[in-house]
Amino acid sequence: MAQVKVGILGAGGIAKVHTGILRRDDRVQIVGVADISADRAHALAGEAGGARPVGSLEELFDLGVDAVYVTTPNTLHVEPVLACLQRNIHVFSEKPMSTSLEGARQIRDAAKVSKAIYNLGMNRRYASVYKRLKELIASSELTPYLAHIKMNRGELLQPEWTANPQVTGGFLYETPFHLIDLCRYLFGEVESVYCQGRQNLSAAELDTFAFVLSFTSGTIANFVTYAHAGWSFPFESVEVYGKYATAATQELEKVMYAPGLKQAAQLHDFFQVPIEEKWGYVEEDRLFIDAILYGSKPPVSAEDGYRSIQLLEAVYESARTGEKIELFKYAE
Ligand SMILES: NC(=O)c1ccc[n+]([C@@H]2O[C@H](COP(=O)([O-])OP(=O)(O)OC[C@H]3O[C@@H](n4cnc5c(N)ncnc54)[C@H](O)[C@@H]3O)[C@@H](O)[C@H]2O)c1
């Protein structure tokens, strides 16, 4: 394959980010951009340099794409992903994988038999601050006994559909899903979750959550997330506590590591790094194209994505029932 021919389905905000990155990759040619809005498809196709604006996934297939980026709103991921996998067309799906366990299961099963690669866009795993945390934990420099995690959203006003749980799948499937997935990435699989949820400002759903996670590794974590915090800094942070040691992130900008008593703390500040790099998009796109061209492991597989949906659904179940949920009951 000389160049990977990519089609984009859904020409909104995040599609613009991926398009900007893929355009600079000589191994990629963006051949088509599809959107139900002809104006949006035209505008992004213009930015993609020679891509054809079209109205549907079928028209992207007609252009002979090797891979599709699915960048439609949350509840519109499963159907196009399955259509790609059935045709053995590689697919990069934006998060979330699905907004139900059943949808995630269908994708996982389809990915097992497809000759194509499925990759889930969990960019936080490749964000500069979280790569640093992962390194500290993987190298055993920091043993994570306890973690304190916050992932607030400022509003559910932009894009407009984020206020509608019929389109988001529920608030947890919005920004909180990033750090729900990241918890598994950093601390391993979860054994149990106990959540308290409230409906404060949203008309139709729970928008306030506090939960406790117990991991099989022995780590315990508390996680708070609220939908309408007004974007006050820091709205996203992870603190990890080990043996006389602490690592703490502030947004996707800074990470501090205090390695022990009477030692200086180390600060990594990524302020000047371009957003698409420090938020992990550049690396996840590169790894997806590497996987297509060289057969390397895709960044986040369907099995991995499925487990994060299991965890998210367990959080909702605990919030709704008031019960502690043991994750093994979801195992299969
Ligand atoms: N990884 C991240 O950091 C990140 C950031 C933002 C959004 N996202 C995810 O990306 C997805 C898109 O979010 P966004 O902010 O770009 O939304 P957006 O509203 O800006 O863009 C979505 C686009 O999809 C189009 N669309 C809707 N239905 C369609 C259909 N059936 N066929 C073709 N096009 C259709 C819309 O017209 C719109 O142009 C969401 O799932 C969101 O959760 C991820």
pLDDT band, very low/low/confident/very high, at 179 (cuts 50, 70, 90): very high
Q: How many CA atoms lie within 13 A of 32 on its CB side?
A: 21
| Distance from Cα 70 to the centre of ligand 1, integer Å | 8
314 CA → ligand 1 middle, Å: 25
Q: What is the pTM of this model?
A: 0.97
pLDDT tens digits along 91-105: 999 999 999 999 999
Query: Which atom of ligand 1 is closest in space to residue 37's alpha carbon?
Result: 37
Residue appearing with tokens 């708070």: 224
Mean pLDDT of 264-273: 98
Asked whether 9 lines ligand 1 (CB < 6 A), one says: yes
Alpha helix stretches (DSSP H) within 194-301? 275-278, 281-294
What's the CA-to-centroid distance between 13 and ligand 1, angstroms? 7
Residue type, 164: N
**Separation of alpha carbons 196 and 321, rounded Å:** 9
Mark whether 72 and 167 lie in a shared domain. Answer: no
Residue 332, pLDDT score? 65
Same domain, 57 and 25: yes
pLDDT at 125 over 90: yes
Tell which one of 8, 17, 36 to mutate to probe ligand 1, the residue whose CB is within 8 A of the most ligand atoms. Answer: 36
Determine if ligand 1 sits within 6 Å of the CB of residue 196: no
Band (1; pLDDT cuts 50, 70, 90): low
Q: Are 179 and 239 in contact (CB under 8 A)?
A: no
Top-confidence residue, 1 or 140: 140
User: Each residue of 238-253: pLDDT tens digit?
Assistant: 999 999 999 999 999 9
pLDDT at 15 over 80: yes
- Which amino acid, one-letter code, is at 226? Y
**Confidence band of 206 (pLDDT split at 50, 70, 90):** very high
Sorting pLDDT into bands at 50, 70 and 90, what band is 50? confident
Question: The domain that contains 30 carries what CATH number?
Answer: 3.40.50.720
Find out whether the peptide bond into 96 is cis, omega within 30 degrees of 0: yes
Q: Confirm or reject: Cβ of 10 under 6 Å from ligand 1.
A: yes
pLDDT of 283 over the 80 cut: yes
Cα 321 to ligand 1 centroid, rounded to whole Å: 31
User: Do 289 and 247 sit in the same domain of this protein?
Assistant: no
The alpha carbon of 220 and the centre of ligand 1 are apart by a number of angstroms equal to 34
Output the six-digit token pair for 316: 């909702």
What distance in angstroms lies between residue 247's CA and the mean position of ligand 1's atoms?
A: 33
The answer on 243 and 150 residing in a single domain is yes
Same domain for 104 and 24? yes
Quick check: 58 pLDDT over 80?
A: yes
- Percent over 70 (pLDDT), the chain: 99
Q: Which ligand 1 atom sits nearest the alpha carbon of residue 121?
A: 1
- The CB of 18 under 6 Å from ligand 1? The reply is no
Among residues 82, 104, 94, the alpha carbon closest in space to that of 8 is found at: 94
Query: Can you state the percent helix, strand and coil of the chain, rounding each to 5?
Result: 40, 25, 35
Q: From CA 18, how far away is CA 5, in angstroms rounded?
A: 14
Out of 54, 72, 178, 181, mutate this one to test ligand 1's pocket (max ligand atoms within 8 Å of CB): namely 72
Query: Is 34 near ligand 1, meaning CB less than 6 Å away?
Result: yes
Burial of 244 (0-12, 13-18, 19+ CB in 10 A): exposed
Q: How far is CA 118 from CA 121, 266, 301, in A?
A: 10, 37, 6
The domain in which residue 112 lies consists of: 4-123+281-301
Q: Give the count of domains, the chain.
A: 2
Q: Which amino acid is at 32?
A: G
Q: 107: pLDDT confidence band, cut at 50, 70 and 90?
A: very high
Radius of gyration of the chain (CA): 20
147: left (phi over 0), alpha (psi -120 to 50) or beta: beta
Instruction: Tell me the CA–centroid distance for residue 40 and ligand 1, in Å.
Output: 11
Task: Quote the mean pLDDT of the chain.
Answer: 97
Cα 12 to ligand 1 centre (Å): 5
**CA dist list (Å): 279 to 15, 220, 267:** 15, 26, 18
Count Cβ atoms within 10 A of the Cβ of residue 250 and give its class: 0-12 exposed, 13-18 middle, 19 or more buried.
Answer: middle
314, 217: one domain: yes
Q: Residue 230, by phi and psi: left (phi above 0), alpha (psi -120 to 50) or beta?
A: left
Please answer whether residues 314 and 193 qualify as being in contact, where contact means their C-beta atoms are separated by less than 8 angstroms.
yes
Domain match, 217 and 196 both: yes
d(CA 123, CA 284): 6
Q: Is the pLDDT of residue 331 over 90?
A: no
Residues 34 and 112 in one domain: yes
Residue 295: partners with Cβ closer than 8 Å, 6 or more residues away: none
Do 243 and 142 share a structural domain?
yes
CB atoms within 10 A of CB 314: 25
What spacing in Å lies between the alpha carbon of 244 and ligand 1's midpoint? 43
- Are residues 27 and 84 both part of a single domain? yes
Do 131 and 257 sit in the same domain of this protein?
yes
164 lines ligand 1 (CB under 6 A): no
Q: Do 95 and 239 share a domain, yes or no?
A: no
Q: Is the CB of 7 under 6 A from ligand 1?
A: no
Query: Which CATH number belongs to the domain containing residue 222 in this structure?
Result: 3.30.360.10
Task: Give the pLDDT confidence of 131-174 residue by residue, as tens digits.
Answer: 999 999 999 999 999 999 999 999 999 989 999 999 999 999 99
Q: Taking 80 as the threshold, does the pLDDT of residue 329 lie above it?
A: no
Q: What is the DSSP string of 237-267?
A: EEEEE-SS-EEEEETTTEEEEE-STT---EE
- Would you give the distance in Å from CA 312 to the centre of its chain? 12
For residue 328, the model assigns a pLDDT of 81
Q: Which amino acid is at 188?
A: G
Closest of 194, 186, 193 to residue 241, by C-alpha: 186
